[in-house]
A and B are shown apart, each in its own frame.
Chain A
């Protein structure tokens, strides 16, 4: 195990000189490009690299069972792409193997730690962003009752839960938090089940919750619907969902969204690579570098901006350490 567990942040990424044409390969997680979420955010970063850095890009989606992640990486490597980025923590293991096979190529993996000298781990402090979401929810929830709907009960989503719960409790320790996961780890249908998201959120709203935060992919749509029906609020995830969700009746229930700037991570990595950076470290996109944060579209959290900024400052300054496990 080449775990180097570095704790540097993006701002410290080393710089160097560029070399020849830049050919960037990127392998998506299941769902692939066009998922309006995680994969698309990564692609946005890649596209930015194309326009701003003049990179030649190639992006591949895996088979629906995800059995060929490693093969995609190798196909990109064999086709001369360097660097190569794997999107999603599921790539961790395959990136490690491929990186060992192709020591001359630089790799990056989103959501997983560096595990080889030529692998950069692009990590996101989802718990920090979720903490802010928790603060916002707890402050806005008059009933003293909020909820969290997770798509799949895996460690990634649990980071969201942990941060959210910590954020809520930081405002009011006796506040009631409902937590529900739609499917267990390994069954990814929880990210694609709006009906289940709706039922779970409906229950929370019926029990008196005012705001429900979701980290449930497409199932979040159901959470928004439940919020709209109950005339309550919801918090989106990953991208600014008040903008990406097209239904106008749902837009208005999205109080804010926890942003996870995978696009920034991908772009910064490519840029750093062009500058000559080498892997072996993790780059954590946290509050400090605005790798995570809250969206302000709609202006619904403008009134508690001070409180949020204070919480953010405490985290950045290290006064608060947000747990990443519930």
Chain B
């Protein structure tokens, strides 16, 4: 498919998705499906995942698998909290970045210099991150210290002194708040669009803006600059890169350190949201970020979609657990669309010869889709409140389903995870 084609398909996909969301909202009556609040929450929850995912992207594009993102993120939160309460938001940002980068450096030393298996090193860092931070808290935040006076405890830092500023889109989502008004009319599609736009633009943390900008920036650096080409070559064929004078070790070091810094930035973001470091606040987001990145096919756009999916599902269930059942309807309609397409294709190509080669497989798929549709629809009609446990796993189940559908089109960097040694052929 050409570039233009892909772009168009993506646009059409988004449009269909919007339409569906709007329909489901109307039918189910849960305004939270497209409310600005949900999208604001989704953004808030998606950003740390997306930052961790970006960290994963940088490392893996340079051929280093980074399962240690979680540990690096933990380092980011701790250092952000520690610097933040003493010297303010900017210091928190810098310290969190550096903390994460430190974890990345460790990973780089182990994997690049010593050729340790990437998963092993990552696991060790995931052990070390919480251990080191707990240790630091036990030493620096213990009773009687100045920090403890300022509100620190073993499990949390004092609040950071100057929270980062927030911005809104003037006119539209602030002041007259045109979008907000449009949203509250609950018109079909228009209000949904307004809600989404307002959620993404109203009263947004500066760090969110920064984080979102990092996506196109990453794309630009990795795919449009010479440095990016070299970095990706280290993930595709480091031997070729080295033979052309690219310093693969250096590139990998830079990539993995940046990767750690991104994870650390994700941690900083968490600290900014809660205004302080809280032990355990990363809650596995490093892993989810990794998942979002794989989900997104090792590309910034896809990664953003993956992070958005997690953020949206989480935000929606936090705001309105009941709305989650509407997704049974959503799924049923999606399956219906799929079925419709298949049937149309079957009818369009009337030749019997065509039919023969399709084989039984396709019919099985269609039958399964039809059955799934019926089951989903029935569930939607009968279930009005899922047990909370099932609501919590919505994003994870969705991810699995999407992977099942899309996985064969995923393509990871060819030399990802390979222990590269200078001068040694694979």
Chain A contacts to B: CB under 8 angstroms: 31-36, 40, 64, 153, 180-184, 187-189, 192-196, 198-200, 202-203, 206, 218, 221-222, 225, 244-247
Q: Knowing A32-B154, A36-B155 touch, does A221 contact B41 (C-beta < 8 A)?
A: no
- Known A-B contacts A35-B153, A221-B274, A221-B275; the reply to A200 vs B318 at CB < 8 A is yes
Shortest 6 CB-CB contacts between residues of A and residues of B: A34-B154, A194-B274, A246-B151, A203-B319, A36-B153, A192-B280
Residues of A within 8 A of B392 (CB): 183-184, 187
B211 within 8 A of A: no
Identify the closest chain B residue to A61 (Cβ).
B154
Select from chain B the residue with minimum beta-carbon distance to A182: B318
Question: Counting CB contacts under 8 A, is B68 at the interface?
Answer: no
What is B's interface to A at a CB cutoff of 8 Å?
32, 37, 41, 44-45, 130, 134, 137-138, 141-143, 148, 150-151, 153-156, 158-159, 270, 273-276, 278-281, 283-284, 314-315, 318-321, 388-389, 392
Q: Nearest B residue to A221 by beta-carbon distance?
A: B274
Q: Is the CB of A246 within 8 A of B159?
A: yes
Taken together as a complex, chains A and B put the C-alpha atoms of A192 and B141 apart, in Å, by 18
Residue pair B155, A35 in contact (C-beta under 8 Å): yes
Contact across chains for A196 and B318 when beta carbons are under 8 A apart:
yes
Neighbour of A206 across the interface among B37, B151, B283, B315, CB < 8 A: B37
Q: What are 8 inter-chain pairs, A to B, with CB distance below 8 A?
A: A31-B154, A32-B154, A64-B134, A153-B388, A195-B44, A199-B319, A203-B319, A247-B275
A194 touches B155 (CB 8 A): no
On whether the beta carbons of A34 and B45 are closer than 8 Å, the reply is no
Residues of B close to A183: CB separation below 8 A: 392
Name A218's contact: one of B138, B155, B321 (CB within 8 Å).
B155
Instruction: Report if A31-B155 is in contact (Cβ < 8 Å); known contacts: A180-B318, A203-B320.
Output: yes
Q: How far is the CA of A35 from the CA of B151 in the complex (A)?
A: 10
Known A40-B153, A181-B388, A203-B37: A222·B274 in contact at CB below 8 Å? yes
Tell whether, in the assembled complex, residue A64 and residue B318 are in contact, meaning their CB atoms are under 8 Å apart.
Answer: no
In the complex, are the beta carbons of B143 and A194 less than 8 A apart?
no
* Contact yes or no, A202 B37, CB < 8 A: yes
In the bound assembly, the distance between CA atoms of A153 and B45 in angstroms comes to 21
Q: Write the nearest CB–CB distance from A193 to chain B, whole angstroms.
A: 6
- B159, A189: Cβ atoms closer than 8 Å: no
Give chain B nearest CB distance to A237 CB in angstroms. Answer: 16
Q: Decide: A199 and B320 in contact? CB cutoff 8 A.
A: no
Residues of A within 8 A of B155 (CB): 31-32, 34-36, 192, 218
Residues of B within 8 A of A202 (CB): 37, 41, 319
B109 to chain A, nearest CB (A): 26
Among residues of B, the one whose C-beta sits closest to the C-beta of A188 is B280
Known contacts A34-B141, A34-B153; is A221 also within 8 Å of B276 by CB?
yes
Residue of B nearest to A180 (CB): B318
Are B159 and A195 in contact, with the CB atoms below 8 A? no
B142 and A34 contacting across the interface, CB-CB below 8 Å: yes
Provide the residues of chain B in CB contact with A247, threshold 8 Å.
159, 275
CB-defined contacts of B41 to chain A, threshold 8 Å: 199, 202-203
